[in-house]
Amino acid sequence: MRLAALRQKNWLILHDVDSLCDAPGTHQIDPDLFTRDYWCERGLIVGEAPGRGSSLFLQATPTEQWVLRPYRRGGMAAKLSEKRYLWTGAERTRAFRELRLTAKLFEQGLPVPRPVASCVTHYGLTYEAALITVRIAGAKAFAELLVNDLADEALLKRVGAMIYRFHQAGLDHVDLNARNILIDPTGEPWLIDFDRCRLRSPGKWGKENLERLERSVHKFKPATTTSSIIQGYRATS
């Protein structure tokens, strides 16, 4: 994966040159690409994900869909500004950090979406940002399968084994929940949404990740035991 940065006026775009370029007939490297209006005008919005920020599913090419996710604040911070963050430099923005981390994980062969590009628009002391990744074809949220009683023991074990692979790579996923795990049509789990995540040395954060996922699983399916997830996790170690 080859990442390149482009800066013009008050915006900066970090992109994978094999996914996004200025070749004729392709989507041009431009901040408009990261707006709802751009895709709406072309009739290329094919769906929308639930959650803060409302990620959009886009028909980027005849054979590939993308996910556009604007960065949105939550909690008390959102009362001050829903989509503005404090500017401390391009490489410290949430969008650039997440794209670079996702690219590292992707290059290691871990089950993550292929990153396409991130855009940061700088306004003095603040910035806004958005991220584009490739959509995992036919995947459903683990949370949806839990709610519909479609997560069997074998799947739970595969989820545990998948998490172990990321922990071995040093990934501390600070928002490990059932919505951020996708299951593709073959039954294989994928991990998404690496905002504020980082690579770390082994520590108690691994146990905290699993505890967070356990709370999330019980939220969507109270009767579900996470013992099979732990079994899958430990069987891989």
Please provide the average confidence, as pLDDT, over all residues in the chain.
Answer: 92
What is the average per-residue pLDDT within 34-38? 95
pLDDT of residue 225: 79
Q: Which residues are part of the catalytic machinery?
A: 175
pLDDT of residue 78: 46
What is the average per-residue pLDDT within 107-136? 97
pLDDT tens digits, residue range 37-46?
Answer: 999 999 999 9
pLDDT of residue 20: 87
Whole-angstrom distance, CA of residue 29 vs CA of residue 112: 23
Spatial CA neighbour of 172 closest among 204, 131, 150:
204
Q: Is residue 76 over pLDDT 60?
A: no
Q: Is residue 15 over pLDDT 90?
A: yes
Query: What are the start-end ranges of the E strands in the chain?
Result: 3-8, 11-16, 45-48, 56-61, 64-70, 85-86, 115-123, 126-134, 140-141, 171-172, 181-183, 189-191, 198-199
Q: Is residue 22 over pLDDT 80?
A: no
What is the average per-residue pLDDT within 6-25? 88
Percent above pLDDT 70 for the chain: 95
pLDDT of residue 210: 97
Chain centre to alpha carbon of residue 15 = 15
- pTM listed for this prediction: 0.93
Q: Which residues contact 30 (CB under 8 A, 6 or more apart)?
A: none
Confidence class for position 51, pLDDT limits 50, 70, 90: low
* Measured CA angle at 31 (ends 191, 190), to 5 deg: 5
Q: How many CB atoms lie within 10 A of CB 198?
A: 13
Half-sphere exposure for 210 (CA within 13 Å, toward CB)? 23
pLDDT tens digits, residue range 87-96?
Answer: 999 999 999 9
Query: Residue 65 in contact with residue 58, Cβ under 8 Å?
Result: yes
Query: Residue 178 in contact with residue 140, Cβ under 8 Å?
Result: no
Q: Is residue 49 over pLDDT 70?
A: yes
pLDDT of residue 147: 95
pLDDT tens digits, residue range 189-237?
Answer: 999 999 999 999 999 999 999 999 999 999 999 877 789 999 999 997 7
